[in-house]
A and B are shown apart, each in its own frame.
Chain A
Amino acid sequence: SQKIEQNSEALNIQEGKTATLTCNYTNYSPAYLQWYRQDPGRGPVFLLLIRENEKEKRKERLKVTFDTTLKQSLFHITASQPADSATYLCALEVLSGGYNKLIFGAGTRLAVHP
């Protein structure tokens, strides 16, 4: 069966450390992978998109890797801050009926402690 798995347990880290979140998938062949941030009571906000032929993408303190052999994406936040505390969702873009449908994982909650 098709699955997207993100760590369901919250990730607690100390301010200043690097947070690493994992997204694993099975039986999908995504052309792209996206990461979103969601704060309580709000809709998700887009962070980064990475293509299947890209190994790594960076944006300020964020870095995403995409390994289509391992079927895994890693999302890193360096020099983490309490303001980075949120739920982070990965989403696969899969071709479906002529368009790219986004399939979301359940998300991982990140808590950065001062």
Chain B
Amino acid sequence: GAGVSQSPSNKVTEKGKDVELRCDPISGHTALYWYRQSLGQGLEFLIYFQGNSAPDKSGLPSDRFSAERTGGSVSTLTIQRTQQEDSAVYLCASSLRDRAYEQYFGPGTRLTVT
């Protein structure tokens, strides 16, 4: 069956531009997560969705970052006025439930801010 997909796979943008990253979770998975991974680092939690609501946005690094999820499915992570320190791989994951259950990850979007 189809796994988690993300687009684009790579994005190069100029400092100050806005970017949108997309995540298509596995059908039927109500929990969706965004993480950020810098080179050689672990996964940094950004935001958690249960259905269309986001009960945990505590990992968003600044108000330039926002995310939404529509129809309990597709999610978009938006970064406004990108900065060089935003360069990283952005990973999306989904799971059937949010406790004692594995997360399925997409391949990630590599964002480079020049």
Question: Considering the chains assembled together, what is the distance between the CA atoms of A65 and B48 in angstroms?
Answer: 28
B48 touches A93 (CB 8 A): no
| Docked-complex contact B103 and A99, CB < 8 angstroms | no
Q: Which residues does chain A contribute within 8 Å of B71, judged by CB atoms? A: none
Are B45 and A103 interface neighbours, CB within 8 A?
A: yes
Cα distance A4–B99 in the bound complex, in angstroms? 20
Could you tell me the distance in whole angstroms from the C-beta of A87 to the nearest C-beta in chain B? 10
Complex CA–CA separation, A43 to B106 (angstroms): 6
What class of interface size applies to chain B in its complex with A?
20 to 34
Number of A-B contacts defined by CB within 8 Å: 60
Residues A100 and B105 in contact, CB atoms below 8 Å apart: no
The reply to whether A101 and B48 contact each other, CB–CB distance below 8 Å, is yes
Binds B, one of A45-53, A55-63, A72-80: A45-53
Q: Within 8 Å of chain A (Cβ to Cβ): is B60? A: no
| Residue in B50, B99, B106 whose CB lies within 8 Å of A93 | B99
Tell me if B43 and A44 are in contact (CB < 8 A).
yes
Q: Note all chain A residues with C-beta closer than 8 A to B93.
A: 43
Interface residues of A (CB under 8 A from B): 4, 31-32, 34, 41-46, 49, 51, 89, 91, 93, 96-107
Q: List 16 A-B contacts (CB under 8 A).
A: A32-B100, A41-B107, A43-B106, A43-B108, A44-B91, A49-B100, A51-B100, A89-B43, A97-B55, A97-B56, A99-B48, A100-B99, A101-B56, A104-B42, A105-B42, A106-B41
- Known contacts A46-B103, A97-B56, A103-B45; 13 additional CB pairs below 8 A are A4-B42, A42-B107, A43-B91, A43-B106, A43-B108, A44-B103, A45-B105, A49-B101, A99-B31, A100-B98, A102-B103, A104-B35, A106-B42
Pairs of residues from A and B, 9 with the lowest C-beta to C-beta distance, nearest first: A43-B105, A46-B102, A106-B42, A104-B43, A99-B98, A100-B99, A104-B42, A44-B105, A32-B100
